[in-house]
Chain A
């Protein structure tokens, strides 16, 4: 991760109401995510309250340990679970510094369900995957290989009533971006 491009990303993403965090390693990032899940815990009757789309960050982890720590968390991303959950978690492939944008190959439907239906979307990104701008990003993604590519810049928004900016329409009202990895270290 280039410190300048991270700073640029953070400025631009926060300008559009995203929350941006950075952790040196996976353990710290997981702790942070679990804290959010605890803070956003739904009333006990509603289960599940968080859906997590499978992603590289989870590789080699014992998911049962995570669910033990965060009751209400499920990795079974169905339409019903995502529609009922308050929090959705997924990993995105790229970040664009000068617009504060996250990009992912979202061909797999679970990735879209967790980032569209819940009120809160926690987006994990590897720190080494920040690119400078749109042209650099377009050189990395290939529509021939991915049927659905998603760009996400801040939470869902509208200004359709009296031009008053309102966050959280059909998509998430909070976008929490979690960068993982040491600065300067290509992941």
Chain B
């Protein structure tokens, strides 16, 4: 990671205006979005959008042809090109031909993608953005920090300063007055412009129509007052049929700005008359710029289902801290990372892809049903293939995959820090490693890894069922007691637990670093070890490991074309279950009970990302804790990431720390003296954070609380 990139992150993090505005917005957004979708079946709507857009993406060429034919039949001039340079040339030639001196623009991301403004300005043409946010950042010489709210990073004082220095002295920091000022100043530009340039939100092939959605009314003026209207449309905006605009018009305003509909929707299907009665010149530029290539990519074709609502930015725990500028000049946030990799170049996504913590929040809200984190992982994989795996990383994985070596190295490191290791924590590390411990303490490494401790656990004899326990690194090396709790609980249900010695790292660290070959080796080793003994279940108390065993092994093999490995991966996947879901099932089956009427006090529950959003198992632990007699005081944003993200917190501690800070604040606000979760990674992050913080709140894995409460049922 270059120093410049780190610096840009730190600059953003230290910008209180930015993080304050984005933080408040993301909190308000969650509520207002939910309200906007009241009475609407979001799953049904987004399924329709995904179908409409994916089928369009599969037929881009045909739809573009149909669109052009239908639009031209009405008198529109359609220019189709895959080359951004040709788009700019076309517009400049048109401008020259008509003696255009001044252009007004309504918001067009496509025009920003090709850097149209500086190109036209260089040729002596005045270009005015008219969307208020875009105008502000144009005057300030900045780039958009958010796809829908380009100037969200600026305060009214800053806007007043920009207006005063760039337009007219003496503007006060009063929002209604600033808006009125913009109206008055831009009105003259609208009335005097020779050309209007717009984008479009949807292009309908069967009718040759453009659908343009705005709130300010600027697009209506851009398409009405100047005698020439040029619309720049990325071909991914195409849909086949007119009625297919319904799901997009239903979701886009709700997801983008929590509105039922924006103030204005304009459907333009052909040239109209100018105010002097002459026919308007209507030019539509269908711009490809690698979209067709993207549509042929088995993984990335999905990204063409994006309707540019920016909800993936609004729910992202990282975006709300750093804002858009860290991501680059045009497309920002999760989807922006993917679009930048394609419309600009893969290399440009090298650093920004690392910002994704893989929490999956965006997957839940995306109206195009795009698995953004999965696509970002795919970028990571391709970057790793293209650039090769860094030597240091290679060395790390060699160690990580040798369990005994890894443990003894960690243990040695832990012992070296003995003076600092107190009450099970490492609070400080020296030198460059100190970043790892300056916002949270790290767990001390257990004297004995779980794999050795396991051999000393005495299990009842004659149990009829068998389960294999998959510990994962943290339980093996730092939290062996969690493993012991799992075994105790399963024994009570009459299940004997085996610990296959050959198990190794689940491969998540390698996979999330793009090192798929390493991850595939991990997968193969684990499959061999875990399927060697005849067991009913393979149980894990780490949701990330569970997801690896249940889903990622197959997906890693698929990515690498190792289809011969798939049947065994699927065989394993069928047996894999997370601790709480298995215990819930056993309780429901009457094989385990929880004594009724106990009052064990108030706890709060933190949802681990993989448990909630991949395994969809956020209910079982809550139900079990309730049944056991715990009262759950729900915290604010219980399902928001804690900032751990595996090695993320090591790579980007400056982002991980403030995410953790919010989490701790929300935990404390519940007044509970214990916070429970199902993931040892979250335990490490939150326990470490609370230790540093000094708050007297216990952090427990669900398994540890339940092991004490669960009772077996004697056989008849």
Q: A residues within 8 Å of B by Cβ?
A: 12, 16, 78-79, 83, 96, 98-101, 106-109, 112-113, 116-117, 134-135, 138, 141, 143-144, 146-164, 166, 168-172
Contacts and interface: CB of A to CB of B under 8 A. Distances in A.
B159 A116 contact: no
Given A143-B267, A148-B268, A166-B176, A159 B273 contact: no
Contact of B207 (A109, A116, A144, A155): A144
A151 B224 contact: no
B260 A99 contact: yes
Contacts of B249: 134
A161 B246 contact: no
Interface stretch (B177-185, B371-379, B399-407, B464-472): B177-185
B136 interface: yes
Given A161-B178, A163-B152, A170-B130, A109 B218 contact: no
A148 B183 CA distance: 24
B250 to A, nearest CB: 7
A150 B155 contact: no
Contact of B264 (A109, A152, A160): A152
Contacts of A78: 275
Contacts of A106: 266
B509 interface: no
Contacts of A96: 261
B254 to A, nearest CB: 10
Interface string B255-299: 001011111111111111111100000000000000000000000
A151 B25 contact: no
Interface residues of B, number: 66
A154 B215 CA distance: 9
Given A153-B262, A168-B179, A169-B179, A134 B267 contact: no
Interface of B: 21, 24-25, 28, 74, 130-133, 136, 149-152, 154-156, 159, 175-176, 178-180, 182-183, 186-187, 190-191, 204, 207, 209, 215-218, 220-221, 223-225, 242-243, 245-246, 249-250, 257, 259-276
B150 A152 contact: no
B182 A169 contact: yes
Given A79-B225, A162-B21, A164-B175, A153 B130 contact: no
Contacts of A79: 191, 225, 275-276
**Top 6 A-B pairs ranked by shortest CB distance?**
A171-B217, A160-B133, A151-B265, A147-B270, A169-B216, A79-B275
Given A150-B266, A153-B261, A171-B220, A143 B175 contact: no
A100 B260 CA distance: 9
Nearest to A153: B261
B149 A134 contact: no
20 contacts: A16-B259, A79-B225, A143-B242, A144-B269, A146-B269, A147-B268, A147-B272, A148-B267, A150-B266, A153-B259, A153-B263, A158-B215, A160-B131, A160-B132, A160-B136, A160-B150, A160-B216, A161-B151, A169-B216, A171-B220
